[in-house]
Homo-oligomer: A and B are copies of this chain.
């Protein structure tokens, strides 16, 4: 295992300490329990957006804490869910009196712990809702998931909802917006190589010299299938086709019902994409893939979208939701409406995403 780390058990803490040292104007880090929060939190009267999940996907989520995006992020150990006490402590720290929205990637551990944190925060009188992101079209009911996994759309939802919070949207409005972003976003990934979790020291899975894995999960969990290595254009076309041919319009997620005061199964109903629809295209590195290769993928993606009459009006290309040093990429297409577009363009100042300020 070749990594720039010290003892594996100190990796997350030391990495977060580096972040906190580097971005003193943007974030602070609390340990025991661990969470990263906006240096200027709480913002009185604004909804606070909190996310979190296992570490190893940097810059997600800590790199997205700051003005116009997340209020706090709760990192677990590598590829391990954070705990409810982290999420609760983060909520207490950043609560500005207008409520908390937890944005939760759909992995069983994350979902369970965020549910518990939601209940704990509510019992303390902090109005809290949680929205689950389940945008990965590759597989249903995978290794760590009931339903679809939450991947790239999470980053986009964090940006759009964070902008809404900065513009004084209400908690209910932001929750609805977040659900809409999730519904309009579809993602799929591919791995060229595995990655190695520091505490384990050996690769998470084995791929032959001539093999790639389509539909890979961000923890290396199995995807759709292993196929032989092929050209970048062919890989991009397979991923793209998987996205546009997705017909998983009916999905179910658990959300807190404020009237009934209980968890309910919410039916999500999606609509087909149509010619003329406008999209944000997100080409994401799995961590070890150079940006030059992402640009090559984006080139083909843009070509395919144009042929299909899907209009890419915004893009984001780079390592934003990674799997340690895994080589490969994921593609997310998010169908935009006017409001989402306006909120995407709003100012943001975080460690890893910044414009307009």
For residue A176, CB closer than 8 A to chain B, the reply is no
Residues 43-68 of A at the B interface (beta carbon under 8 Å): 55-56, 58-59, 63
Residues 1-46 of A at the B interface (beta carbon under 8 Å): 2-6, 11-12, 14-19, 21-22
Residue of B nearest to A323 (CB): B290
When all copies of this chain in the complex are counted, the total is 2
Given A22-B317, A235-B4, A296-B4, CB of A287 within 8 Å of CB of B290 = yes
Query: Is B288 a contact of A327 with CB atoms below 8 Å?
Result: yes
Given A18-B299, A299-B14, CB of A293 within 8 Å of CB of B4 = yes
User: Among B300, B327, B352, which residue has its beta carbon within 8 angstroms of that of A2?
Assistant: B327
For residue A232, CB closer than 8 A to chain B, the reply is yes
- When distances are taken between beta carbons in the complex, the residues of chain B under 8 Å from A287 are 288, 290
What class of interface size applies to chain A in its complex with B?
Answer: 35 or more
Bound CA–CA A121/B241 (angstroms): 48
Query: Is A5 a contact of B293 with CB atoms below 8 Å?
Result: yes
Bound CA–CA A271/B54 (angstroms): 46
Query: Is B291 a contact of A288 with CB atoms below 8 Å?
Result: no
Query: Is B2 a contact of A58 with CB atoms below 8 Å?
Result: no
For residue A255, CB closer than 8 A to chain B, the reply is no
Given A56-B292, A288-B288, A357-B355, CB of A4 within 8 Å of CB of B298 = no
Among A3, A288, A296, A297, the one with the most B-chain Cβ atoms within 10 Å of its Cβ is A296
Query: Is A58 a contact of B21 with CB atoms below 8 Å?
Result: no
Bound CA–CA A89/B67 (angstroms): 42
Among A4, A322, A325, the one with the most B-chain Cβ atoms within 10 Å of its Cβ is A4
| A109-133 vs B, Cβ < 8 Å mask (1 yes, 0 no) | 0000000000000000000000000
Given A288-B325, A356-B357, CB of A298 within 8 Å of CB of B2 = no
- When distances are taken between beta carbons in the complex, the residues of chain B under 8 Å from A22 are 295, 298, 302, 315, 317
Query: Is A232 a contact of B3 with CB atoms below 8 Å?
Result: yes
Query: Is A232 a contact of B5 with CB atoms below 8 Å?
Result: yes
Query: Is A5 a contact of B296 with CB atoms below 8 Å?
Result: yes
Q: Could you list 22 examples of A-B contacts with CB < 8 Å?
A: A2-B327, A3-B293, A4-B289, A4-B329, A5-B293, A6-B296, A15-B293, A18-B297, A18-B300, A19-B295, A21-B302, A22-B298, A22-B302, A56-B292, A58-B291, A290-B325, A291-B352, A292-B324, A319-B319, A355-B355, A355-B357, A356-B357
Apart from A4-B192, A5-B293, A18-B296, what 12 extra A-B contacts exist at CB < 8 Å?
A: A4-B294, A4-B297, A5-B232, A11-B296, A14-B296, A15-B295, A18-B299, A18-B302, A58-B291, A290-B319, A292-B324, A354-B355
For the complex of A and B, list the 7 residue pairs with the smallest distance between their C-beta atoms, beginning with the closest: A18-B295, A18-B299, A4-B293, A4-B232, A58-B292, A288-B288, A2-B192
